[in-house]
Amino acid sequence: MTIRKYRKEVVFLLDITIIALISSVLYFILPGGIEGGRNDFIIIIPHLILFILCTAVSLYLFKVYDNLWRYAESGEYLKLILGGFVGYIVFFLIENVYLLGIVPFMYSLAASSASMLCMLSMRLCYRLYRRWYTNKGNENKTPLVIIGAGNFGVRLQEELENNPNSKYKVSCFLDDNIEKIGMLIHNIEVKGPISNMEKLLKNNPVSEVVVAIPSISQVKRREIFEVCSKLKYRVRTLPDTLTLLQNEGNYSLWNNIRDVKMEDLLGREQAVFDNEGVENFIKNKTVMVTGGGGSIGSELCRQIAELKPKKLVIVDIYENSAYEIQQELLRIYGKKLNLRLEIASVREKDKVNQLFHRYRPQIIFHAAAHKHVPLMERCPEEAIKNNIFGTYHVIQAASRYKAEKFILISTDKAVNPTNIMGASKRFCEMIVQSMKKNSKTKFAAVRFGNVLGSNGSVIPLFQKQIAMGGPVTITDKRIVRYFMTITEAAQLVLQAGAMANSAEIFVLDMGQPVKIINLAENLIHLAGRLPYTEIPIIETGLRPGEKLYEELLMKNNGELIMTQNHKIFIERQEEISQKEMKKKLNIIRSSLNSKSQIKIKDALKQVVPTYRDPEEVNADAIRTQEIGTISENEKVYRMNVC
């Protein structure tokens, strides 16, 4: 057993000892009142015990002994003073009403005041000792800068200061608030503004920066990260306020700190959707998610589970990923969620019909697909079997079993496709279009860009390459892409599902496209490394079927129809008849039977009129757009080398 286990008892006994000693000493020092002498002191002992008892009970009722004094602030000290004062008032009333006022007023007041002063001094001395003990090895600790001198920044500094095991010491705060700049917080200077970080920290041996402003907007957060990315510091951040509230069981701010994610660099506020409409769409419905173990599919399952469906059916061919999301949902919801998991391939028509017959899903989110562009270029028959005919099987089953709605997960690569994967997804959109007015089921497709952090995406690859010391590989430094978060993607799908009515193709306003080279450079900077010097960036060349520029999802030429959500639009499409669709499917089926990849590609070009060769599209992009072949960071590096 250690003394820490009996911390309350030890502090209580110290307080009692202080009150007893102070009262005894003052008895012999203060003149007047009771005549000095041994017999008189013995007479006053019961009154002294009453004084100690009243003070101790009052302090206990004010919960003074529940505080950890190493972290005490003004509120804790105020409770101590109020507890002592109330205890004295109670003693004074009892003494003067029931015990005839034997103890002089000046003596009891002096004893109470001196006792409170000594108890406060004891606690302050303990705090000073703790601070000295914690900081005695500061010369060996890593200097840290906290951006944000608000409540969270100060709390983070106090946490690091009071933790003897912390490896960090706060060198300074950075803030844009003019009233704080130049002031001291716990003897640490507040510097600013943040935009002058490079100049302010020029002679400061800082190695890490923490952004401690949870309530900051996404745009402002990105601006701060861009300033940080110009310097050789590792940058980390506190999550947003909502995330901190959700992690309220974790009281350590430091444990909530995370590395910068690519969504922090998205360059726009994340889209927010109408949860009430989505909840009414999902609640008490049987919902099926194909490809439910994938990045988008699993996030869909998470959000659907929160909306209280009658039953959630996860369908996936990959048992490991499907098992992971199943266990995650069971751990969170237990028996509250009616969850079913089916290992099946959408390629198998009979199996798909069997599942629909068994569960009779009312809403289907179809996320099962092959999505890797280079792999599908090498194996086009697999894209046809899985993406096209798999989608066709699920659509037909949804119509046959009178599902309410079917939502297809599509991609921006379906817009003027230059590869097998994009063309196959465009054909899936055309199947959805052909169902308009031909089924009681309402169909729709949702199209969005690259999803940050999804399986196989470029960002996790960059992060792994940086962690291994490089090099970071990109196919072409001119490539530009649209990005969105997994959460946004899933919310968009749900929102579109709620709005779906007649074979629409929904697209999201994703802001401005982002250069991949800039993402790579920012990730290297924010990891505290220098691109091109410490971490090389190597260009490997465009992969088969890859475009330099994805098509814009937003156009103001009348091709888009605005919805009630200003971030979601419907792309106007020509209707496709069932007769025409069956003809196209027969062409595709015949090419599959030929087992010739050349004939499969030619067949896709025949049935998807917008399908073009990537070389042609990239040549047009180069001719019509000004393309910088190297980034500004690389230009600076080359100038310095020369």
Tens of pLDDT, residue by residue over 142-185, are: 888 989 888 888 888 888 877 767 788 888 999 999 989 988 88
Q: Which of 169, 371, 413, 547 is catalytic?
A: 413
Q: 566 Cβ partners below 8 Å, 6+ apart? A: 509
pLDDT in tens, 108-141: 778 778 888 888 888 778 777 766 665 655 567 7
**Least confident range of 56-70, 107-121, 257-271, 571-585:** 257-271
* 312 neighbors 335 (Cβ within 8 angstroms): no
Residue 575 has pLDDT above 60, yes or no: yes
Terminus-to-terminus CA distance in the chain, angstroms?
Answer: 67
> Does the active-site annotation cover 413?
yes
User: CB 37: neighbour CB atoms within 10 A?
Assistant: 9
Q: Which residues contact 193 (CB under 8 A, 6 or more apart)?
A: 174, 175, 176, 181
Give the confidence band of 550 by pLDDT, cuts at 50, 70, 90.
low
User: Has residue 1 got a pLDDT over 60?
Assistant: no
**For the residues 544-549, what does the mean pLDDT come to?**
72
**What does the alpha-carbon distance between residue 562 and residue 564 come to, in Å, rounded to a whole number?**
7
Give the angle 24-30-33 at the CA atoms, nearest 5°.
95
Task: Establish if 460 belongs to a structural domain.
Answer: no
Residue 213's φ and ψ, nearest 5 degrees, are -130, 80
From 105, 134, 163, give the residue that closes a domain.
134
Encoded amino acid at 377, one letter: E
Question: In this predicted structure, what is the pLDDT of residue 421?
Answer: 94
248-267: average pLDDT:
66
For residue 227, the model assigns a pLDDT of 80
Mutual angle of helices 105-135 and 7-29, in 10-degree steps: 140
User: Band of the pLDDT at 626, cuts 50, 70, 90?
Assistant: very low
* Residue pair 273/489 in contact by the 8 Å Cβ criterion: no
| Statement: the pTM of the whole predicted model exceeds 0.75 | no
* Bridge partners, residue 146, by sequence: 173, 210
Lowest mean pLDDT among 253-262, 329-338, 495-504, 549-558: 549-558
CB within 8 Å of 113: residues ≥ 6 apart: none
**SS3 label, residue 505:** strand
* Mean local confidence (pLDDT), 334-339: 94
pLDDT band at residue 312, thresholds of 50, 70 and 90?
very high
* Residue 221: HSE in the Cβ half-sphere, 13 Å Cα cutoff: 26
Lowest mean pLDDT among 79-93, 330-344, 390-404, 547-561: 547-561
Strands 568-571 and 560-562, by their bridges, are antiparallel
Q: Please report whether residue 340 resides in a domain.
A: yes
Q: What is the rounded CA–CA span in Å between residue 404 and residue 357?
A: 15
Q: At what angle do helices 218-228 and 516-526 cross, to 10 degrees?
A: 70
- Do 115 and 169 lie in a common domain? no
Residue 634: which pLDDT band, with cuts at 50, 70 and 90? very low
Q: Are 189 and 295 contained in the same domain?
A: no
Q: Binning pLDDT at 50, 70 and 90, where does residue 639 land? A: very low
Whether 304 and 396 share a structural domain? yes
Please tell me whether residues 558 and 600 are part of one structural domain.
yes
Residue 152 lies in a domain: yes
Q: List the beta bridge partners of residue 515.
A: 480
Q: Which of 116, 126, 131 is nearest to 64 (CA)?
A: 116
Pick from 134, 164, 187: which residue ends a domain?
134
- pLDDT the model gives residue 448: 77
Higher per-residue pLDDT: 611 or 59: 611
* Angstrom distances, CA of residue 558 to CA of 499, 512, 569, 571: 20, 20, 11, 9
* pLDDT, mean of residues 329-345: 95
Both 312 and 436 in one domain: the answer is yes
Per-residue model confidence as pLDDT tens digits over 179-228: 899 888 888 889 989 888 888 888 777 878 888 888 777 677 777 877 87
Q: Are residues 127 and 145 in the same domain?
A: no
Q: What residues have CB less than 8 Å from 6, skipping those under 6 apart?
A: none
The chain-wide mean pLDDT, for the chain, equals: 80
506 with 438, same domain: the answer is: yes
Residue 309 structural domain? 275-450+483-510+552-624
How many Å is the Cα radius of gyration of the chain?
35
Q: What is the pLDDT of residues 2-53, one digit of tens each?
A: 555 667 777 778 888 888 888 777 766 765 544 444 446 666 677 778 888 8
pLDDT at 580: 94
- Which residue has better confidence, 487 or 209? 209
- Give the C-alpha separation, 629 to 476, whole Å: 9
CA 489, CA 299: separation in Å to the nearest integer?
9
User: Which residues, including other chains, have CB under 8 Å from residue 30's CB and lie 6 or more apart?
Assistant: 104, 106, 107, 110
Q: Is the residue at 616 inside a domain? A: yes
- Domain assignment present for 536: no
Burial per residue of 138-166, b for 16 or more beta-carbon CB atoms within 10 angstroms, e otherwise? eeeeebbbbbbbbebbbebbbbbbbeeeb
Distance CA 467, CA 445 (A): 38
Considering 10-24, 70-84, 130-144, 584-598, the range whose residues carry the highest mean pLDDT is 584-598
Q: Residue 359's closest CA among 313, 392, 297, 425?
A: 313
Is 142 a domain residue? Answer: yes
Count up the domains in the chain and report the number: 3
pLDDT above 90: percentage of residues in the chain: 29
Q: Residues 352, 408: one domain?
A: yes
Higher pLDDT residue, 579 or 542?
Answer: 579
463-492 residues labelled b (16+ CB within 10 A) or e (exposed): bebbeeebebebbbbbbbbbbbbbbbbbbb
Between 366-380, 411-425, 448-462, the lowest mean confidence (pLDDT) is in 448-462
State which of 194, 228, 260 marks the end of a domain: 260
Asked if residue 423 lies in contact with residue 604, where contact means CB atoms within 8 angstroms, the answer is yes
Asked whether residue 528 is assigned to any structural domain, the reply reads no
Tokens of 390: 């798999």
Q: What is the CATH number of the domain that holds 255?
A: 3.40.50.720
Q: Does the pLDDT value for residue 92 go beyond 50?
A: yes
74 and 221 assigned to the same domain: no
At 42 the pLDDT is 67
Give the β-pairing of 568-571 and 504-508.
Answer: antiparallel
**Residues 293, 384 within the same domain:** yes
Q: How confident is the model at residue 555 (pLDDT cuts 50, 70, 90)?
A: very low
Give the pLDDT band of residue 593 (cuts 50, 70, 90): very high
Q: Tell me the two tokens of residue 496.
A: 């579109």
Q: For residue 516, how many other CB atoms are within 10 A of its CB?
A: 21
**Tokens 């919902």 correspond to what residue?**
287
In a shared domain, residues 503 and 397:
yes
DSSP annotation of 535 reads: B
- Could you tell me the pLDDT band of residue 331, with boundaries at 50, 70 and 90? very high
**423/357 same-domain check:** yes
Looking at the domain assignment, is residue 641 inside a domain?
no
Q: Does the structure show a pLDDT above 50 at 359?
A: yes
- pLDDT score, position 267: 54
